[in-house]
Amino acid sequence: MKQQIIGITDCGKYQNYHEWIAAASPEIEIVKLSYRNNNFDDIKKCTGIILTGGEDVHPRFYNLPEYLPYCLPTDMDEQRDEFEWKVLEYTQQNNLPMLGICRGLQIANVFFGGTLIPDLPSFGKYNHSKFYEGKDRYHNVSVDPYSLLHTITQKSKGVINSAHHQSAGMIGKDLVVSSFSEDGVVESIERKKTSDGSWLLLVQWHPERMRDKNVNEFSVNIRKAFLADC
């Protein structure tokens, strides 16, 4: 059996992602991919990629620079944007399975030609950010019964955590939304046809740090399905 080598992009809470994947099996090797380490070439040995959460994607990447005032000026990193763009290019050129989480969903949607809503409350949506004391919100999600996400979770509804102020706007080429929150915010994206490329699932929540991540199908089943395809 080929060893699983999972590349995880660097972020402020990188350790959460590392521990979540490492908990699945002691046989998994994990590689931190980061422009700070100048180690892009390490992606060549990876069998799957996780794009992690973190900073706002700079709106120049989706050709809406007028959205810049809605972004958090101290919470953007264009070097990271550029590095992860290269990661996305590599995954698609080399058919690597990819799981995008929170910001990972957002930059992947932009990569495929989509846009972002730069600040949900400013654009008429409920607040999906953390509570003021720093704890994740939790809310319901509805799943398309014909989606990959439904196949993975076997759930048409569920409860997921939430800690974001941006979300997907227009959806990228050849992608489709597979779940929504009750107020209509995009919660997951996948390929329109799973046969059209490598395994791809993008989720707006944080499966790596859910309070019930060891039993919740929107965490443990996603990890299992991702690793199975890696």
* pLDDT tens digit sequence for 195-215: 788 999 999 999 999 999 999
Q: What is the distance between the alpha carbons of residues 114 and 224, in angstroms, rounded to a whole number?
A: 28
Give the closest residue to 184 by CA, choosing from 132, 137, 142: 142
- pLDDT per position as a tens digit, 65-78: 999 999 988 899 99
Residue 95 belongs to a domain with what CATH number?
3.40.50.880
Residue 133, pLDDT score: 65
Query: Catalytic residue at 208?
Result: yes
Query: Catalytic residue at 102?
Result: yes
Contact 197, 91 (CB under 8 A): no
Contact 166, 57 (CB under 8 A): yes
Q: What is the distance between the alpha carbons of residues 220 and 212, in angstroms, rounded to a whole number?
A: 9
pLDDT band, very low/low/confident/very high, at 1 (cuts 50, 70, 90): very low
Question: Going by C-beta distance under 8 Å and a sequence separation of 6 or more, which residues neighbour residue 188?
Answer: 105, 141, 143, 147, 149, 177, 178, 179, 201, 202, 203, 204
Structural domains in the chain (count) = 1
Place of tokens 């509570």: 131
Q: What are the DSSP calls for 149-196, one per residue?
A: HHHHH--SEEEEEE--S-EE-SPPTTEEEEEEETTS-EEEEEESSGGG
Average per-residue pLDDT for the chain: 95
% of the chain at pLDDT higher than 70: 98
Residue 80, pLDDT score: 98
- Domain coverage including residue 212: 5-229
pLDDT band, very low/low/confident/very high, at 2 (cuts 50, 70, 90): low
- pLDDT per position as a tens digit, 82-141: 999 999 999 999 999 999 999 999 999 999 999 999 999 999 988 888 876 678 999 999
Instruction: Provide the whole-model pTM.
Output: 0.96
Q: Which of 71, 165, 208, 230 is catalytic?
A: 208
Tokens representing residue 110 in the block: 């932009």
First to last CA, the chain: 11
Question: Going by C-beta distance under 8 Å and a sequence separation of 6 or more, which residues neighbour residue 177?
Answer: 144, 168, 171, 186, 188, 189
Q: Which of 11, 55, 206, 230 is catalytic?
A: 206
Amino acid sitting at position 174: D
Name the CA dihedral angle for 178, 181, 184, 186, rounded to a multiple of 10 degrees. Answer: -40
Q: Which of 11, 102, 190, 230 is catalytic?
A: 102
Query: Catalytic residue at 206?
Result: yes
R_g (Cα) of the chain, nearest Å? 16
